[in-house]
Every structure is written in C-alpha cells, then in structure tokens.
Amino acid sequence: GAVVSQHPSRVICKSGTSVKIECRSLDFQATTMFWYRQFPKKSLMLMATSNEGSKATYEQGVEKDKFLINHASLTLSTLTVTSAHPEDSSFYICSARGPGTANYGYTFGSGTRLTVV
C-alpha cells in the first residue's frame, strides 16, 4: 500500500533557527501533499496544500513566510519552519495524495515533534 515517510520524527532547536521537515511518498507519486499541525490533545489543523511544481496554498491565518513549503518533485515535499519560536512547538504531520487513485489520497506520515527552546 501507499507509504509516506516523514523525517525527522523529533527535533529540538534553538529559538531563532530554522528547521526543515521532509515528507516522502515511498511507493507512489504524490501530486499533492498536505501539511497539518496538531497541538496536544487537539485535532489536526490543515496548514497548507502543497502541489508539485507550483506554489503552496496556505490556509487562512498561516504565515507563508514562516512556514515555507517546497514540493520540487513528485515524491518529496518539505516544510521549513523559519526563525522558530517556542510557540511553533507542535506536532507536524504530512499527508500525501497520488494522482487519481482514491485510496492513495489518504496516507499520513508518522509526524514530527518539534520543540523550540
């Protein structure tokens, strides 16, 4: 079945630095990927839609200059949290969708726990 690999699983960084999170589709090509954020004991909130070869579409209230998304190939999307601050600490999860096949649309990565100190 469709597998999405997310890396790293955990990262601790200093305030002011940038962190890159990778999301890879391992056995299918993902034309669209989604980035979610989850606070403790809360639901997943969509941050942005990443489309291969074009600019990401951000949800209302999400700063595009703070959360840089790059989807340069059909198997890789990256989320870079720039100038991270403690309030950016959260669980970030990606999801990948393949072209046309319904089941491929719904696979999530295992998530990245970001802690900014």
Partner 1 sequence: GQQLNQSPQSMFIQEGEDVSMNCTSSSIFNTWLWYKQDPGEGPVLLIALYKAGELTSNGRLTAQFGITRKDSFLNISASIPSDVGIYFCAGETDSWGKFQFGAGTQVVVTP
Q: Which residues bind partner 1 (CB under 8 A)?
A: 6, 32, 34, 42-46, 49, 91, 93, 95, 97, 102-103, 105-111, 113
- Of residues 81 and 96, the one with the C-beta less far from partner 1: 96
Is 11 buried (19+), middle (13-18) or exposed (0-12) by CB count in 10 A?
Answer: middle
Q: How far apart are CA 48 and CA 70, in angstroms?
A: 11
- Of residues 32 and 70, the one with the C-beta less far from partner 1: 32
Angle (nearest 5°) at CA 38 between 72 and 97: 35
- Of residues 81 and 111, the one with the C-beta less far from partner 1: 111
> 3-state class of 55 per DSSP?
coil
**Closest separation between CB of residue 83 and partner 1, Å?**
26
**Closest separation between CB of residue 105 and partner 1, Å?**
4
- Of residues 83 and 103, the one with the C-beta less far from partner 1: 103
**Closest separation between CB of residue 87 and partner 1, Å?**
20
Q: How far apart are CA 19 and CA 105, in angstroms?
A: 26
Q: How far is CA 10 from the centre of its chain?
A: 13
**Closest separation between CB of residue 103 and partner 1, Å?**
7
